[in-house]
Amino acid sequence: MISVEQVRLLDRFSNKSTTGTLHLTATHLIFVESNSTSAQEIWILHHHIASVEKLSLTTSGCPLVIQCRNFRMVHFVVPRERDCHDVYSSLLRLLRPESYDELYAFSYNPKQNDRQREEGWQLIDLAAEFERMGVPCDQWQLTDVNRDYKVCETYPRDLYVPITASKPIIMGSSKFRSKGRFPVLTYFYQEKKAAVCRSSQPLSGFSARCLEDEHMLQAVSKANPNTRYIYVIDTRPKLNALANRAAGKGYENEDNYSNIRFQFVGIENIHVMRSSLQKLQEVVGTRALSVTDYLVGLENSGWLRHVKAIVDAAIFLTRAVTVEGASVLVHCSDGWDRTAQVCSLGSLLMDPYYRTIKGFMVLIEKDWISFGHKFADRCDQLDGDPKEVSPIFTQFLECVWQLTEQFPQAFQFSEWFLIQIHEHVHSCQFGNFLGNSQRQREELVKEKTHSLWAHLLSGQQNYLNPLYCPSYGYTNPVLEPSTLPCHFKFWRNMYHQFDRPMHPRQSILKQALTLKENNRELESIAQNLQAVSAIFHVISHVHQEDEDELVEGEEAREDIPVGSDGDRTVEGGSATENGYGELPLSCGSKPEPAMVSLEFGVARMTC
Amino acid sequence: MEFAELIKTPRVDGVVLHRPFLPLVEGTLCLTGHHLILSSRQDNTEELWLLHADIDFIEKRFVGSSGTIIVKCKDLRIIQLDIPGMEECLNIASSIEALSTLDSVSLMYPFFYRPMFEVIEDGWNLFLPEESFKDLESMTDEWRLSEVNRDFSICPSYPPLVVVPKDTDDDTLLKVASFRHGGRFPVLSYYHKKNGMVMMRAGQPLIGPNGRRCKEDEKLINATLRAGKRGYIIDTRATAVAQQAKARGGGFEQEANYPQWRRIHKTIERYSVLQDSLIKLVEACNDQSHSMDRWLSKLEASNWLSHIKEILTTACLAAQCIDREGATVLVHGTEGTDSTLQVTSLAQILLDPSCRTIRGFQALVEREWLQAGHPFQHRCAQSAYSSGKLHGEAPIFLLFLDCTWQILRQFPCSFEFNENFLVLLFEHAYATQFGTFLGNSAAERATLKLPQKTVSLWSWVNRPQEMEGFVNPLYEPNSLVIWPSVAPQSLQLWEGVFLRWNRSSKCLDEAYEEMVHIIEYNKELQKKVNSLRRQLAQLETEGSPLHTP
């Protein structure tokens, strides 16, 4: 452990700074402000650090700039260059673990016994989830072909396929698809018996064909009694798909597959998305940003364009399934990035269950974790290829957020839930997202780590959307969002989650949550009071009172909590640790002067 | 003139009305002197009741023998009327055009409107300067109410009563008036109770190319300074613009003559630029293209949010000088009737909690906009669909409302009113049955005899049944000065105005209802618990003598 005193923390957007002590532990970088009254603490998990930069020495010391994956940016100035170098080189060493067992998840211990830990892992049951959708059924069955991960090592063991898809068809189709990822069921729209299937691209090149693969698609099509055709959605831009043909990959030739309707939806690849978010971060990280530079930067980054492309694709999928009642096969290149985005977002639009807290966990478990989204590579868990890193999952969370903005009553969870999931996808504190596939995870994780879902469920009152209307899903089972560009907004609470002065100083969300909790309390108080007064009535009817009884009554009354003031603070479970607690600001009836202070952004006087 | 002369065809059957997010209505179109009315024939309920004054622009299209009129309203709504018969269509169109552009104020609807409700509290008498001066008097004796402008002769855009430093007599005011644009000598705009600092506003000093000076002007504003303290002059124009103004007889306070003042120039655009910005913004919002890049670049090109940022920043600066620096502030631009008022009124919202109440906000609009001589009638004659040559139209007041909305969004619990109240003021500033926003100054309102001949918007809005819709359920009085963020990431497009007609608001409205419900239910429960507690206490005292041993 290293400790350096008299370190200055510069504010990102203003000229303010605070002085404190910097501690480096095996898992965290900690900054403790020396000012005793407000002693702010910042805990940064090593896994959250995306980059560390040591800038050239200045008169006041040696600057150390740390950029985090949860969009925190800290700028320290260490008085002595040698100390700065020590911290810097230690961080570099700690930053990129080389093997999984160095990850925080394997040392994190939330004081749970093994049984509790086990139970955490059993919270989400995908077999039960497919059952909920109505699978297996007369057209779809569970296949054990991937029992030992032999056919496709990036798929889960349990896969659902049409009953007419025999093993040879599956094996054949699998050989004709990138990484063996043959078409399998991911969502079943029971009402119309329409299926959403996913796969990787076919190895069609310029002319290759595969009868088994063609049969496979036919089997999918036959499994739907309502429509003869199926949609094949290639989520890539056509140009990219064409380029893949030269490498012996590509897309389905409509002449070879009977009754398919082929459609490109033009979502860009992981490299484009990575640089897009980088550009966005650069723009919004600029000090004294003008509106023009902000909007031009937002446009040039392309980020919202990409987000909209994903939502557009999900809407296309949803319409095909719910309106036309057609089954759909979704793929991109390998079928673990764009395909996961579109399938999961489409399911969320179609099925109200996925808009609940538990349902959303199930959705992520199914379309992302089990189907092999490469979390380790995309989130840079180990020292890997920087070209594999990409904010695909972040982008998915943002798409969901955009929907919550349009449908404020449709989701059981609030954006804090999304932000918290994002936090832990990168924290490597829980086992859920470690590794690149289910197979890898089985070897690594379940014996030794904890599940994020249990952690989130235990604190779920913090993530509730107070405006959620459970009956909304019955009246509006399918969401039909507007796709006009003006409805897509910059997600400030994600990308500036640590830049407090940019947020509204009072939060409606928090206020409403508090009120709802207060309402529940009042309801139970009222109930208790009614019960007690009933006792009194009984007593006054019986003239011969028993003193003991009355004493009981009085005791009961004293048990009742004294009136609530509607001003209780709701904090996340580990607020200080992950900065989540910095988001909600207190806004009760007695605002503290400290909350409302002259902050950055307010005009500096210039003459 | 008779309205009938302008109405060539008063009634057409079989007209089809198209409105965004609403079903088609087929019915009879009627034109009256002030309204365009469309009612469906089936049940004779009114489906549309549109003030001609609310119509900003119309377009005609013809297909075969039937025509279509696209009506673009000042509240930014666009509706379409399909009218069978070429001639009828042409007649209706020309009538609407004539009736929506009447020159004479006295023909406007407020002079014909008779309230269908009982006026309990006359809005015309709610915010009298004498009354607000009484409040001031209770806090300080350094100011007096001057009647120097009682016949509007010194300053046509000022009200008859203004607040000036106590030691400045009316003769001095006369001299200072001749040195300030439009006769707008410095007057008190706001007194900051917390530290006794003040904000004044004025027109630009008329120093001209030769550097005129006016000792009385210097003396007047110096009289507001605390001993040994400096004041700030916030000029809402860029330095270069203020320099250029000298050539036309205007200018700014020279350091040499005002050594105790520090001048700060900010760049708030003038009206033609702002009108252009509004037109571009609304054009962008109505664009149905699905291209994200196109939307963002159009939004950027409109510059609307840049103007918002600049105005808010300047208001924050003024508030900062007063509250943090403990300094006196004088705000002016050129005329002192536009950007100056944006800054002084917004600064008060930040500094003074009472401006964040419904009554307080009405008083602010009355004091800092209506009494202060913002030329509403010129500025709001045309809205975003205006075309051709403009005559001083500009969304100055709308920008102020938008800035208020931005602050409201950042402090959603600190305002007694909700967004609907701001939208209401926007609508009524542009087209209305009430007299409040008619005329360009107190003098014009007096000549038009508005208080006698028309109904005040406040008379209507302050009735409990109307007020209900404008109250912010989350309101909890916040006695502090509030400091909003002006970072671009913190500013947002005001969807409630600019996307109002381009989105289905059902989901948002229902969510708002739910919010109101949660709060109402909370109050109900509190009440229930309290009454149960009382009951219980009573039972206890009734029962207790029996137990006394």
* pLDDT tens-digit series, residues B55-93: 999 999 988 888 999 999 999 999 999 999 899 999 999
H runs (alpha helix) in A134-269: 167-175, 211-222, 238-246
Q: Average pLDDT of A476-485?
A: 95
**How many residues are there in chain A?**
607
Whether the pLDDT of residue A552 is over 60: the answer is no
Q: Which of A73, A279, A299 has the most B C-beta neighbours within 10 Å, making it the best mutation to test the interface with B?
A: A299
- Would you call B261 helix, strand, or coil by DSSP? strand
Q: Average pLDDT of A558-573?
A: 31
Confidence of residue A533 (pLDDT cuts 50, 70, 90): confident
Find out whether A337 is annotated in a ligand binding site.
yes
Residues of A in contact with B295 (CB under 8 A): 484-486
Whether the pLDDT of residue B157 is over 90: the answer is yes
Q: Does a cis peptide bond (omega within 30 degrees of 0) precede residue A136?
A: yes
pLDDT in tens, B480-503: 999 999 999 999 999 999 999 988
Confidence of residue B30 (pLDDT cuts 50, 70, 90): very high
Cβ neighbourhood burial of B384 (10 Å; 0-12, 13-18, 19+): buried
Q: Average pLDDT of A430-452?
A: 89
Closest CA to A117 of A426, A432, A463, A572: A432
A607 touches chain B (CB under 8 A): yes
A469 touches chain B (CB under 8 A): yes
Confidence of residue A577 (pLDDT cuts 50, 70, 90): very low
Give the pLDDT confidence score for residue A587 in this predicted structure.
30
Q: Which residue has the higher pLDDT, A582 or A154?
A: A154
End-to-end CA distance of chain B: 93
What stretches of A293-372 adopt beta strand conformation (E)?
327-331
From residue A73, how far is each of A286, A499, B487 by CA, in Å? Answer: 12, 9, 17
Closest CA to B441 of B361, B523, B533, B341: B341
Confidence of residue A554 (pLDDT cuts 50, 70, 90): very low
Whether the pLDDT of residue A592 is over 50: the answer is no
Task: Measure the CA–CA gap between A407 and A480, rounded to whole angstroms.
Answer: 9
**Are B518 and A515 contacting, i.e. CB atoms less than 8 angstroms apart?**
yes
Whether the pLDDT of residue A595 is over 80: the answer is no
Task: Measure the CA–CA gap between B382 and A379, rounded to whole angstroms.
Answer: 54
Give the pLDDT confidence score for residue B487 in this predicted structure.
95
Give the pLDDT confidence score for residue A607 in this predicted structure.
30
A448 touches chain B (CB under 8 A): no
Whether the pLDDT of residue B41 is over 80: the answer is no
Give the pLDDT confidence score for residue B539 in this predicted structure.
81
Distant-in-sequence, close-in-space partners of B531: CB < 8 Å, separation ≥ 6: none
Give the pLDDT confidence score for residue B543 in this predicted structure.
64
pLDDT in tens, B295-305: 999 999 999 99
Closest CA to B536 of A547, A522, A528: A528
Distance to chain B for A511, nearest Cα, Å: 8
Residues of A in contact with B528 (CB under 8 A): 522, 526
CB contact under 8 A, B485 and A533: no
Find out whether A44 is annotated in a ligand binding site.
no
Distant-in-sequence, close-in-space partners of B380: CB < 8 Å, separation ≥ 6: B74, B393, B397, B429, B430, B437
* Whole-number average pLDDT of chain B: 93
CB neighbourhood size of A191 (10 A)? 13
Closest CA to A94 of A86, A406, B219: A86
Task: Measure the CA–CA gap between A258 and A112, rounded to whole angstroms.
Answer: 55
pLDDT in tens, A301-326: 999 999 999 999 999 999 999 999 99
Whether the pLDDT of residue A64 is over 80: the answer is yes
User: For chain A, what percent of residues have pLDDT higher than 90?
Assistant: 75
Distant-in-sequence, close-in-space partners of A533: CB < 8 Å, separation ≥ 6: B532, B535, B536, B539
Residues of A in contact with B262 (CB under 8 A): 607
Whether the pLDDT of residue A216 is over 90: the answer is yes
Give the pLDDT confidence score for residue A588 in this predicted structure.
32
Confidence of residue B544 (pLDDT cuts 50, 70, 90): low
Confidence of residue B44 (pLDDT cuts 50, 70, 90): low
Q: Is A243 left (phi over 0), alpha (psi -120 to 50) or beta?
A: alpha
CB neighbourhood size of B256 (10 A)? 8
A524 touches chain B (CB under 8 A): no
Task: Measure the CA–CA gap between A360 and A345, rounded to whole angstroms.
Answer: 10
A362 touches chain B (CB under 8 A): no
Give the pLDDT confidence score for residue A542 in this predicted structure.
66
Give the pLDDT confidence score for residue B323 in this predicted structure.
95
Find out whether A256 is annotated in a ligand binding site.
no
The 3-state secondary structure of B485-537 reads: CCCHHHCCCCHHHHCCCCCCCHHHHHHHHHHHHHHHHHHHHHHHHHHHHHHHH
Confidence of residue B549 (pLDDT cuts 50, 70, 90): very low
Which residue in A210, A332, A428, A587 is the catalytic one?
A: A332
Give the pLDDT confidence score for residue A14 in this predicted structure.
86
CB contact under 8 A, B547 and A532: no
Give the pLDDT confidence score for residue B266 in this predicted structure.
96
Give the pLDDT confidence score for residue B542 in this predicted structure.
74
Q: Average pLDDT of B397-412?
A: 97
- Among A262-271, A275-284, B123-132, B277-286, name the one with the lowest average pLDDT: B123-132
Q: Average pLDDT of A342-367?
A: 98
What ipTM was predicted for this assembly?
A: 0.93
Give the pLDDT confidence score for residue A535 in this predicted structure.
82
Give the pLDDT confidence score for residue A550 in this predicted structure.
40
- Strands A140-143 and A159-162, by their bridges, are antiparallel
Find out whether A270 is annotated in a ligand binding site.
yes
Whether the pLDDT of residue A553 is over 50: the answer is no
Whether the pLDDT of residue A589 is over 60: the answer is no
Give the pLDDT confidence score for residue A558 in this predicted structure.
33
Furthest-apart CA atoms within chain A: distance in Å: 99
Whether the pLDDT of residue A571 is over 70: the answer is no
Minimum Cα–Cα distance from A513: chain B residue? B518
Confidence of residue B536 (pLDDT cuts 50, 70, 90): confident
Whether the pLDDT of residue A155 is over 90: the answer is yes
- Among A187-196, A561-570, B11-20, name the one with the lowest average pLDDT: A561-570
Distance to chain B for A595, nearest Cα, Å: 10
CB contact under 8 A, A529 and B492: no
- Strands A17-24 and A2-10, by their bridges, are antiparallel
The 3-state secondary structure of B182-202 reads: HHCCCEEEEEECCCCEEEEEC
Of B489, B540, B546, the CB nearest to A294: B489
Residue A332 appears among annotated catalytic residues: yes
